[in-house]
């Protein structure tokens, strides 16, 4: 999917200006064959305004408690799978390099299942996908459907024959007390 990001900011005098208008290439990794991750904007802390439009630092895929992320992810059909000749060690290293922290929340024994210390707001932009919770409950989401994920264990399952694109905003939240 092609995504264009337009960013506004302010001059030192306080005038609103466009500071960038550019395509954002998706991040892809061999281990998640067919997935695309567009990391559009984010911050690890509360943003100070006014802003000159310079992208705040947000190195990890998921935000800390005081941070946020905005992006898109594309989920390929479940049948896409991973190549048989994939070097898993190399693929895991690539995943950590290109999407830091994503692998750490995934459950190796339950592919796709994960839990994050975030509140996620999302909307299905195209296609359809099943949102599965840890008790096996599922709901089919189609174009225009929105969700609010409150730090719950979940997975995405695309049982269709077409990719599904989702816009998402991840807000860092306090983890549950031990």
Domain residue limits, the chain = 3-109+161-172
- What confidence score (pLDDT) does residue 53 get? 87
CA–CA separation, 69 and 8 (whole Å): 17
Backbone φ and ψ of 128, nearest 5°: -145, 155
Strands of the 128-133 sheet, one edge to the other? 138-142, 128-133, 154-157
Each residue's pLDDT, cut to its tens digit, for the chain (178 residues) gives 899 999 999 998 989 999 999 999 999 999 998 999 999 999 999 998 888 888 999 999 999 999 999 999 999 998 887 778 888 889 999 999 999 999 999 998 998 899 999 999 999 999 999 999 999 999 999 999 999 999 999 999 999 999 999 999 999 999 888 8
Instruction: Return the number of other C-beta atoms located less than 10 Å from residue 172's C-beta.
Output: 21
pLDDT at res. 136: 92
What is the pLDDT at residue 86?
Answer: 85
Residue 114: per-residue pLDDT: 95
9: β partners: 17
pLDDT of residue 27: 97
Read off the tokens for 171.
């807000």
Predicted pLDDT of residue 125:
98
Find all residues with CB under 8 Å of 117, minimum gap 6, and list them.
62, 65, 151, 172, 173, 174, 175
DSSP-derived secondary structure for the chain = --EEEEEEEE-TT--EEEEEEEEEPPB--GGGTT-EEEEEEEESSPPPSS--SPPPP--SSS--TT-EEEEEEEE--GGG---TT--HHHHHHHHHHHSTTHHHHB-TTSTT-B--SEEEEEEEEESEEEEEETTS-EEEEETT-EEEEES--EEEE--SSS-EEEEEEEEE-PPPP-
What is the pLDDT at residue 79?
85
Residue tagged 């992006």 (tokens): 71
């Amino acid at each position: 999917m092609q995504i264009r990001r337009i960013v506004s900011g302010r001059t030192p005098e306080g005038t609103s200006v466009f500071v960038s208008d550019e395509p954002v290439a998706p991040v892809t990794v061999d281990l998640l064959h067919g997935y695309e991750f567009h990391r559009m904007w984010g911050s690890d802390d509360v943003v100070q305004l006014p802003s000159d439009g310079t992208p705040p630092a947000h190195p990890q895929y998921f935000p800390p408690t005081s941070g946020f992320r905005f992006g898109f992810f594309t989920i390929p059909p479940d049948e896409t799978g991973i190549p048989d000749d994939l070097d898993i060690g190399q693929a895991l290293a690539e995943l950590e390099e290109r999407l830091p922290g994503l692998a750490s929340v995934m459950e190796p024994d339950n592919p796709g299942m994960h839990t994050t210390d975030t509140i996620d707001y999302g909307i299905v932009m195209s296609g359809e996908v099943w949102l599965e919770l840890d008790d096996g409950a599922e709901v089919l989401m189609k174009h225009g459907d929105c969700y609010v994920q409150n730090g719950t264990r979940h997975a995405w399952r695309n049982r269709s024959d077409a990719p599904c694109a989702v816009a998402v905003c991840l807000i860092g939240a306090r983890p549950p007390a031990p």
